Amino acid sequence: MLVNGRHYRTIWIDERNELCVIDQTVLPHEFRIVRLHTPAEVCRAISSMVVRGAGLIGATAGYGMWLAAAQAPEDRPFTLWMTECAASLIATRPTASNLAWAVERQRNLLASLGPELRKTDAVALLRAEADRIADEDAEFCRSIGQHGGELITAISRRKSGETVHVLTHCNAGWLAFVDYGSALSPVYAAFDAGVDVHVWVDETRPRNQGASLTAWELGRHGVRHDVIADNAGGHLMQHGMVDLVITGADRVTRCGDAANKIGTYLKALAAADNNVPFYVALPSSTFDFSLCDGVRDIPIEERDGEEVRRIRGVNRAGAAEHVLLCPEFSPARNWAFDVTPGRLITGLITERGICAASEEGVLGLYPEHAGRCSA
């Protein structure tokens, strides 16, 4: 994506060999680059949501393993140090599948190299693998855009070129991945092909990733959009103002159940009641092929209640501040995700194509993962 005339990925290594990310906690009012130097800084960046989104935290964790190897102390066993760093990275965000997947991919690489591996060799190999993880994420999301863009184009043809209205929830665009995004990649692909597309952007309380991030990147790309209150989606569907819903996901089971930002399940229910197609877009790294029952088995992160009680914005003087929304004495609970059962999902848009949100559909695209269910 172009920012101030320059193309950026969401994570990269600069000319000083330093790991750089975009601080998503200050968008859309400030564009700030943060450099991460240690595995502890990577953990803090993920847990504090300086970086967020399924694909991006996976790529960030992959680079975190590289930094861990580079800074392994001489007075501690290398394998033990890497095991501890891996555990710390995985613990930062429990719901997203991509994070643990990337860490385990790096650990498996180390294990395959045997006990005589030198630290200098490990650093180089982990850096190269982290680059591959990031490049794959970008390429997979580009492919998701091609497959999903065909859905939007088909609707445009049926409507004789009239505007196609897409509703999305949270941010599953370029900012949530290394490039392109998942749910927004089809929008960008259709828009770039000349389709008249408009996006309804859920604000996505409590962290407002829709209002802050999705709206920002859609505007940068030139896509027409409107920010709406989270509870407005059902009303729009009732009145024929939504042609399809596309969301991202943080973990999807082999049977098609999808964990995504809290509130996604309610949009799926409204879509089903109004015969609006509901799609989930994801790269294969987001699948958890070991699980089938998402409602029962996917761990749901509960974050600090202060995210619900307070909201961040810019005041009339142009200064960023947090303000209290509720009575000072009122506590808040803050579940970050919910699970949409596969029966409510029209299809899954992946880098390999579109499939039904069912075990048969998923394994039809990914037959190499048959026989891995833990239930």
One-letter amino acid at 321 equals E
Neighbours of 193 (CB within 10 A): 14
Helices 78-91 and 39-47, axial angle in degrees (round to 10): 10
Please confirm, yes or no, whether 293 is among the known catalytic residues: no
Q: Is the dihedral of CA 314, 316, 318, 324 positive or negative?
A: negative
CB 281 within 8 A of CB 186: yes
Nearest to 366 by CA among 67, 356, 374: 356
Pure H helices in 92-200:
97-112, 119-158, 185-192
Residue with tokens 């949270």: 170
Helix, strand, coil shares, percent, the chain, to 5: 45, 20, 40
Element housing 21 (H / E): strand 19-22
Instruction: Find the angle CA(222)-CA(48)-CA(313) to the nearest 5 degrees.
Output: 50
Distances (CA, A) of 244 to 88, 227, 264, 278: 39, 16, 14, 6
Q: Tokens 């847990």 sit at which residue?
A: 47
Helix (H, G, I), strand (E, B) or coil at 42: helix
- Beta-sheet pairing, 197-202 with 164-168: parallel
From 179, 250, 288, 338, active-site residue? 250
Q: Rounded CA gap, 28 and 340, in Å?
A: 29
Residues serving a catalytic function are 250
